[in-house]
Amino acid sequence: MSRFLSENYSKLIPYTPGEQLNEKVIKLNTNESPFPPSPSVKQVVTDDLLDRLKLYSDPEVKQLRNAIAEQFGLEAENVFVGNGSDDVLAFSIMGFCGAGGKLCCPDISYGFYPVYADLFGVELEQIKLKDDFSIDINDYIGKGCNIVIANPNAPTGLALTVDEVEKIVASNPDNIIIMDEAYMAFCKQSCVELLKKYDNLMVVRTFSKSHSLAGLRVGFGLASKEIIEDLNKLKYSFNPYNMNSVSIAAASAAIADNEYYNKNIDEIIRVRELTKDLLSSLGFTGTDSKANFLFVTHPEFSAEELYKELRKRGILVRYFSKPRIDRYLRITVGSAEEMQALTDTLAQIIKEVKE
């Protein structure tokens, strides 16, 4: 720490991203897609586009906001685009809960929510998940507090239904409810339809998981025009040109390719269910994840030991050394081949220990 950092931030504990190893590994630790982006991405990243990088990108991000709006039956004015959904979450929590506001979220969820609260001076109430890691919606009904919920939740993979979310949104009309749908594509439902009825809902999505573009950094928020206007006001006061021209062009092309992505999503769901069965036959139990990852534990083996053992053998999964979940592994659903390698390796580890 330098001697210049503001006292406000001196005790800040930043978010820890999953490991990015250069070595050749089977990477099942950060919920990326095993499939490359839509071929249309290559078609739009032309030499001409690269030459035009000499000009600023469009601060209004019109092309991409239109493309997203079209997919969801909304207007461009209902869409805020960020440099990854973290950017969208940051501006949202800053703007709607910042400097003395209050926010609620589940105690086990995306690890970034408490970091944002800390950064922006937000009072955070973390509400305990039930023992089976599910959310009790009664904890949130009529809460009278801004709320952020990952749906499906991470790292549990458990999802609330649209009806359940509606009860939360309807019963907190004076607070903003942020539904972080980073993994929703793998659940095949969405709260976007509720936007037509409620002005206190924001739905956050990302291109990082279902759309195989984690490295491009594109996320978006869908909400009322007034909420989007507020987010743009913050963006224009922080970083007006937050989206580069390659991201705008590539993401616009990608989101239109429903055929390609629906096929990939269906395959990930198929492999997810298959892997659940294989892990179950090895003695693992876990949540009924509706995301592109599994959250599993084994009664006989320490999750930390399994994590280390897998790592030695070239398979990277995510282990959180945190209360209540430190016996669990979060395993991204990769390709069928990768998941076969995972379950084969786990079977081998178990066999070696037992011998």
Of 45 and 124, nearer to a second copy (C-beta) is 45
Beta strand ranges found along the chain (DSSP E): 26-27, 79-82, 102-106, 123-127, 146-150, 177-180, 201-206, 219-222, 285-286, 293-297, 315-316, 318-319, 328-332
User: Coil, strand, or helix at residue 19?
Assistant: coil
Say how far apart CA 138 and CA 131 lie, in whole Å: 15
Q: Which residues pair with 80 in a beta bridge?
A: 221
Say how far apart CA 156 and CA 321 lie, in whole Å: 15
Of 99 and 300, nearer to a second copy (C-beta) is 99
Structure token digits, residue 74:
């909304």
Output the smallest distance, CB 57 to a second copy, in A: 5
Cα–Cα distances in angstroms (integers) from residue 192 to residues 189, 196, 264, in the given order: 9, 8, 22
Phi, psi of 129 (to 5 degrees): -70, 160
Of 65 and 298, nearer to a second copy (C-beta) is 65
Output the smallest distance, CB 34 to a second copy, in A: 7
Of 54 and 196, nearer to a second copy (C-beta) is 54
Output the smallest distance, CB 235 to a second copy, in A: 8
Of 95 and 286, nearer to a second copy (C-beta) is 95
Output the smallest distance, CB 122 to a second copy, in A: 9
User: 196, 131, 130: which is closest to 140 by C-alpha?
Assistant: 130
Q: Do residues 192 and 200 touch, judged by C-beta distance below 8 A?
A: no
Asked whether the bond before 17 is cis by omega within 30 degrees of 0, the reply is: no
Cα–Cα distances in angstroms (integers) from residue 331 to residues 1, 119, 229, in the given order: 34, 29, 38
Of 101 and 106, nearer to a second copy (C-beta) is 101
- Quickly count: other Cβ atoms within 10 Å of residue 76's Cβ: 19
Output the smallest distance, CB 316 to a second copy, in A: 12
Output the smallest distance, CB 346 to a second copy, in A: 23
Q: Do residues 219 and 85 touch, judged by C-beta distance below 8 A?
A: yes
Output the smallest distance, CB 159 to a second copy, in A: 23
Of 52 and 263, nearer to a second copy (C-beta) is 52
Output the smallest distance, CB 7 to a second copy, in A: 8
Output the smallest distance, CB 277 to a second copy, in A: 26
Of 215 and 299, nearer to a second copy (C-beta) is 215
User: Coil, strand, or helix at residue 285?
Assistant: strand
- Mode of pairing for the β-strands spanning 79-82 and 201-206: unpaired
Of 38 and 297, nearer to a second copy (C-beta) is 38
